[in-house]
Amino acid sequence: MYRFIFLLALSIPTIVFSQEAKFEVQDLSISPWIDGTLLVPRDIEKPPLAIIIAGSGPTNRDGNQNFMKNNSLKKLAEGLSSEGIATFRYDKRIVKQIRQGNVDNNIMFDDFIKDALDVIAYFKAGYDFSKIVVIGHSQGSLVGMLAAKDKADGFVSLAGAGQNIGDVLIEQVTKTAPMFSDDTKRIVEGLKNGETTTDFPVALASIFNSDIQAFMMNWMKYNPTDIVQNLEIPVLIMNGTKDLQVSVNEAQLLKEANNKAELKIIENMNHVLFEIQGDDLENSKSYNESSRPISKELIESIVTFIKS
């Protein structure tokens, strides 16, 4: 089911000390499905905590997948923790299953929400942070806003869609392969109505194959604008002008749905949080260039939001 990727404590903590880092590092196991890394700033009593939720596909806590290593979420976590904000980032459950050789092909979108809720509950019960803010990247934006409602003290949507994922797919296919636009609209309409199908072009199998249709139907149940408008906590909506996967229009849709939210558009930032000065080729190559720094403006904006 994880072939589609959009251009998409139960154990004793291990504590690592660094002479240079401004934070302590603890590897935690939250549940049978979720492992992650907690960074806690040194010499700060009761810092705020940011929980970072990754985007689509088999993405690990650092923001990486096989053959795509950029360390974007690791850099985000370390950047925030260097500024006095504790962070927890975790592997998506499919990552642990792949490592164990026991992949569950029946994972649903709702499982991601449960995992995020488990993480929030774990830190609320066992730690004494001043506040808990959820940061959701890409697909993690929708997961994060669903988990944050009535559970967290703030929410940051980072490159998150404003449209239903079905409508996003229609838009993407229409732009990149217009000959399949009508088929995509037909299939999405059926999935939204709970109807599976075997009638789809081979070229669309990566997003509509029979083994992922149940997941897609579950995902399509949720409309981001409906959810974000009901969040009664502070919300920060962020995107970059060089994002090839999620346009700034998606961020604006979220802002329109929640007029109390802050909107921050970062010039030249792409989907994996790097600032790109060149063309789309440089942009695409950067997804596998872990030496790049992430946007300083991104870090500064999130720090200001969380500490306000």
Query: How far, in Å, are 180, 202, 205, 245 from residue 212 at the CA level?
Result: 19, 14, 9, 20
**Are 86 and 109 members of one domain?**
yes
Whether residue 6 is contained in a domain is answered as no
For residue range 196-242, list pLDDT tens digits in order. 999 999 999 999 999 999 999 999 999 999 999 999 999 999 999 99
In this prediction, the residues of the chain whose per-residue pLDDT falls under 50 are 1-19
Query: How far, in Å, are 70, 223, 294, 295, 299 from residue 79 at the CA level?
Result: 15, 31, 9, 10, 6
Pairwise CA distance, residues 8 & 62, whole Å? 16
pTM greater than 0.85 (yes/no): yes
Pairwise CA distance, residues 81 & 88, whole Å? 10
Q: Based on the structure, what is the number of domains in the chain?
A: 2
Whether residue 83 is contained in a domain is answered as yes
**Are 83 and 212 members of one domain?**
no
**Are 63 and 114 members of one domain?**
yes
Pairwise CA distance, residues 195 & 184, whole Å? 14
Whether residue 4 is contained in a domain is answered as no
CA angle at 223 for the pair 218 and 228, rounded to the nearest 5°: 130
Percent of the chain with pLDDT over 90: 87
Look up residue 62 and give its amino acid: D
Pairwise CA distance, residues 306 & 44, whole Å? 15
**Are 159 and 298 members of one domain?**
yes
For residue range 82-108, list pLDDT tens digits in order. 999 999 999 999 998 998 888 888 899
Domain boundary among 221, 243, 258: 221
Enumerate residues 6+ apart whose C-beta is below 8 A from 159.
55, 137, 138, 141, 238, 239, 240, 243, 245, 246, 271
**Are 186 and 302 members of one domain?**
no
Enumerate residues 6+ apart whose C-beta is below 8 A from 186.
none
**Are 141 and 286 members of one domain?**
yes
Residue 9's pLDDT is 33
Enumerate residues 6+ apart whose C-beta is below 8 A from 86.
23, 38, 39, 40, 41, 47, 48, 49, 50, 129
